[in-house]
Structure 1
Amino acid sequence: MSSPPSRQSTIIIEPRSTKFVPPVASPLPLSQEDQEKCRALLKDCEMFHKMSAGQLKTLASRMKLMQLHKNQILIQQGTPTKSFYLLDNGEIRREFLDPGTGKRHTVEFLIKAKSINSMRVLSGDPIHSTVRCVSKDGCRMFEMHRETLLQTMRQHPDMGIQMASALSEEVRVASKKYATPLLEQRQQEINVPAVMIAAGIESYYRSALNAQINRVLTGVSSEMFPNMHIQVPVRISYITGFKGLRSLMDRTMDSQENSENSNENQFALRLFMAISPGVIMTPISSILEASNAGHLNNEPMATRWLRGIVARCGREIVFGLGLNQLSDYWEERWQEILGRNKTSPVISNAAGSLTAGVISGYFSHVPHNLSTYKLLEPKRSYADLYAMFVDRSVPNIVDSALKSTPMFAESPTLAQFVRYMTATIFPRGLIVRTTQIVGSFMILNGTINYLQLREHKKFQKLINVPPLPEDDINKDQNVSVYSGNRKDDAIESTSSNSQIAATSSVVIPADDR
């Protein structure tokens, strides 16, 4: 006969209540030290940062202290909002259970603050996500009941105005999203000395990588820094030309868009303006290329620079788009990914240049190879040079696979098509070429951005104007702000520092706390 279940077993199998019991704050008033902490937290909170010291003191005096242990739930999704909280010490985690899929998500907000549930406390709407303490030593926070806050606002009506103003400002600043289309990107007014310094530095990097690319393509080593007395000034003119022409094209485009006879086909006009700098700067680029090829082409420089100019023009169009519009486009997107803080403008500028460099390096590589081959072997046709490029680019493993596959072995035309596609999609020397473009973009855009930012700060100190947020200094540059007469505009006369963004699309998410 089996023995009856023990008392301990009976307790284990009894169902436990799953009803959420909210933690209770201490009924005692806050100490003077805690009230000071509470005022500081309120001042940092998006809802209350515009309030006066007296108003913050009033709110702090009505809050209560609360302690949570690790994994204790503070508020639960779907329950009514009865309080808001300020986190003094510890870490919390917000989790949202999607009722449609049953999947649990960790929640983060664009507005970073130590407040919890502050966005819903006025309306009393159901809580959006469950919040629990995850710190080993627990969490220390301050609580204010919803009714206490509403009563305080009724007693001090000015508080409501300050709260509404503060929330509107925070939503605009923290939730805006830049989304300027590629061909509508506008650059800062160029700082010519900054561009020249950047181009001088980059010319040595470019010369060394060009020598390496030529070695990969031809198998012949050459001097890393040949004819630098020609390369440096020409490269400075080349990069300054790209930046200056883009600024000129931007001004022309702005005038066209603002005129009464605005062209309806804006896309075609923008595309023409975007590719024009590459076409115009091709002769200067040809001189630079000819300076690196003297060891294999002994023609006079007056003749040598013309070799490969057609293919080089295509390469320069891609380079110009990458250095200008594409770098700005990706910098803008990286700014949104990385967030806006003191270091993000520098990091997003580097990330944008890197991304644009990878794309430009890939699409400009085949034209670059053809222009190089034509420069080194000017008597051969482009078709002949492209066939040579394919023969040198296709790996042996691909040729072996084509020969061993009956379908390709029986159809030389199809096999040749596969070889041409392989060489075009995976060209020889791609990694070195892409590394060169990435480095050039990062050196040029990074140096220019850094020097222009320093100049901007100096100018602000000179005229005693409070500085803009660094993300606005760095990237808010899509529309010029000036007095109406450019010659009389003080900010315009000091280079690039009068630009702010006004044309980017702004997206404000609907999520709140």
Structure 2
Amino acid sequence: MAAAAAATAADVAAALVPEEVVVEKHLEERHITHQHYATRRHLEEGVRVSAEHMPELLESLRTARIFQHCSEANLRRIASEMKRMEFKAGEVLLEQGEPQSRVYMITEGSVARLRFVDDQLHQVETVGSDARRGMFGALHVLREEPTYATAVTETDGVAYTLDSKVLNKLLDTDPNLGKEMLYSLSKEVFRMSKLRTPLLEQDPHPNNFFATSLGASIESYYRSGLNAWLNAKLSGRPPASLFPNFHIQIPTRVLYINGFKVVRSFLAEHVHPAEYASPNAVRLGAAMIPGIVMTPVSSVLEACNAGHMNDEPLLRRWTRGLVPRTAREIIFGLGINQLSDACEERVAHIENNFARTCAGSLMAGVVAGYLSHMPHAVSTLRMLKPHLPYSEILRNMVDENVPRTPRAWLPGARRLGAALLTVFMPKGCLIRTAQICGSFIIINGTISVMTEHTVKGDLERDLTRVQRRSSR
């Protein structure tokens, strides 16, 4: 039998198409063919999940595509119905074509999914490689449809399984679980088809006031320092104090950043664009409202940095430059909310949550920083020089860019070139972009880390309670 298996393996390997990813090592080293396997795993094996292993399972379920939008209570119900099994290298968990009677969550080790097509063995994917968790079987389990690919264990490891009948029973008894899984699956379809959620249809994350406040407090120092440098670049004056009026700046910044998150969540909960004749217009309006609402708060922050050139009282100073500042805040709000989420979705291949959040925030910061610089510059100069009307501020900005154009050009051409430079390559643009990129990374990154830490802390406390009860 072993000789026949080896001969079949050699024949299949010889017929492989070079550009296909084919698992030749499984054929040669383990003598696996489509008709014969060295070890067949019994599906009935597995034990109930103990309190010791429950935190690991819950953390894995939160990352599973089919359950990623399920509530904590439903995740715990699902986990309580799953079984834990340990496997050895070379075992076959599922065979292509047989009924998909279980979902598999791999938490340790790795499993190769192999599919025979036209008498050739192809590797579909490796689940659980490089210490990453992974799930397979979720798309065919509800009706026990034929398994798409054979699952062969590459190493020793651990898997958690959920029976099809048990999952269907959970769905029958709790309609909300069905809705949550349906929404999760719709997101998975987007991911697998390489489609992306439109910018204005991005859903807000749950608010974490403490994490947002901590991120805003840290970011206040970064923002204020770069703001002083940017104001000096725009005004031509030496930098003023880097951290002025911080007894006002920090609480105002905390209110400001939390405001963007809270207003966005409130609108997402209470405004339903599909109910209107022009849903996209409603979505755009809802995306702009946080920036409009937070413009007065932002004006107070800007006024704190302008006292060295504008000696007006703070209560008067903050009103300068409101119109262009509103445009800037709309762009900032879209950037830190919808655009950051959309960019993060486009780097979903990054496994680490913090790294993925930072990458998305960096991409969004580049866009928002560049687009918001022109209204920022006009509003800032209006606050620093309140005696100048907007028309003169814009004229002065163009005059400052005339020396950047070629001297050989005619005066009219140089003036036009200076106007284009003012709009598309303005002074201080790199500083402004760096400021926004850093702000997005600090705020969203802190929220990501603190939220993940909070979840892990809750799991550890739950495990401690269970251990204390069991020791009594």
**TM-score bucket of the superposed structures, by smaller chain:** 0.5 to 0.7
Matches within 5 A, 1:298-447: 298-335=311-348, 337-338=349-350, 341=351, 343=352, 345-394=353-402, 396-398=403-405, 401=406, 403-405=407-409, 409=410, 412-447=411-446
Structure 2: distance between partners of 1:205 and 1:28: 60
Contact 1:183 1:274 in 2 (8 A): yes
Distance change (3 Å), C-alpha of 1:26 and 1:240: closer
Distance in 2 separating the partners of 1:377 and 1:25: 78
Structure 2: state its 5+ residue gaps.
Answer: 1-12, 17-23, 33-37, 46-81, 93-108, 124-143, 152-160, 162-184, 464-472
Equivalent position amino acid for 2:424 in 1 = I
Structure 1 residue matching 2:346: 3-state secondary structure:
helix
Match for residue 286 of structure 1 among 292, 295, 299: 299
> What's 2:197 paired with?
180
TM-score (norm 2): 0.62
Deviation per CA, 1:442-465: give whole Å up to 9, x if none. Answer: 00001011112222333455567x
Pairing 1:47-446 to 2, within 5 Å after superposition: 115=112, 118-120=114-116, 124-127=117-120, 164=147, 175=192, 179-220=196-237, 221-254=239-272, 257=274, 262-335=275-348, 337-338=349-350, 341=351, 343=352, 345-394=353-402, 396-398=403-405, 401=406, 403-405=407-409, 409=410, 412-446=411-445
Report the TM-score when normalising by structure 1: 0.57
* Cα distance between partner residues in 2 of 1:445 and 1:244: 14
- 1:308 Cα deviation (Å)? 0.9
What's the offset of the Cα at 1:368? 0.6
User: Are the equivalent residues in 1 in contact too, given 2:306–2:383 (CA < 8 A)?
Assistant: yes
Question: Take 1:28 and 1:433, find their aligned partners in 2: how far apart are those partners?
Answer: 61
Tell me if the contact between 1:203 and 1:232 (Cα under 8 Å) persists in the aligned partners.
Answer: yes
Other structure's SS at 1:183 match: helix
Structure 1 stretches lacking a partner, 5+ long: 1-18, 30-34, 44-49, 61-111, 131-160, 465-513
CA–CA distance in 1 between the matches of 2:256 and 2:334?
A: 14
CA–CA distance in structure 2, aligned partners of residues 313 and 198 of structure 1? 23
One-letter amino acid of the counterpart of residue 328, structure 2: R
Letter in 2 for 1:425: F
Q: Calculate percent identity across the aligned residue pairs.
A: 37
- Aligned mates of 1:27, 1:199 — CA distance in 2: 56
SS in 2 for 1:119: strand
Q: Distance in 2 between matches of 1:329 and 1:248?
A: 19
Partner SS for 1:164 = coil
- Please give the alpha-carbon distance, in whole angstroms, between the structure 2 residues aligned to 1:113 and 1:177: 25
1-side partners of 2:259 and 2:31: how far apart?
71
Deviation, 1:215, is: 1.3
Deviations 1:317-376 (A, max 9, x none): 1111101110011011111x43xx3x2x21110000000000000000011110111011
Conserved in 2, the CA contact under 8 Å of 1:289 and 1:305? yes
Query: Quick one: distance in 1 between partners of 2:31 and 2:282?
Result: 70
Structure 1 CA distance, aligned partners of 2:363 and 2:314?
A: 35
CA contact under 8 A between 1:178 and 1:333: conserved in structure 2?
no
Question: Does the aligned pair in 2 maintain the 1:51–1:163 contact within 8 Å?
Answer: no
Q: Which amino acid aligns with 2:209?
A: V
Q: What do residues 154-200 of structure 1 show as CA deviations (whole Å, max 9, x unaligned)?
A: xxxxxxx798288799xx87947562110011111211111111111
Larger CA Rg, structure 1 vs 2: 1
Task: Tell me the matched-pair count.
Answer: 333
Residues 1:333 and 1:20: Cα distance change in structure 2 (over 3 Å): closer
SS at match of 2:288: helix
What secondary structure, in the 3-state scheme, does the structure 1 residue paired with 2:147 have? Answer: helix
Shift of 1:240: 1.0
Contact 1:307/1:371 (<8 A) preserved: yes
- 1:288-333 CA-partner distances (Å, limit 9, x unpaired): 1111011101011111111111111111111111011100110111
Q: Which has the higher contact order (CA 8 A, sep 6+)?
A: 1
Quick check: 1:178–1:332 contact (8 Å CA) kept in 2? Answer: no
Query: Aligned-pair distance for 1:127?
Result: 3.6
Give how far 1:58 is off. 10
One-letter amino acid of the structure 1 residue matched with residue 236 of structure 2: G
Contact 1:51 1:162 in 2 (8 A): no
CA distance in 1 between partners of 2:418 and 2:301 (Å): 32
- Mapped to 1, the partners of 2:381 and 2:330 lie a distance apart of 19
Distance 1:27 1:421, change over 3 A: closer
The structure-2 alpha-carbon separation of the partners of 1:423 and 1:25, relative to structure 1 and needing over 3 Å to count, comes to closer
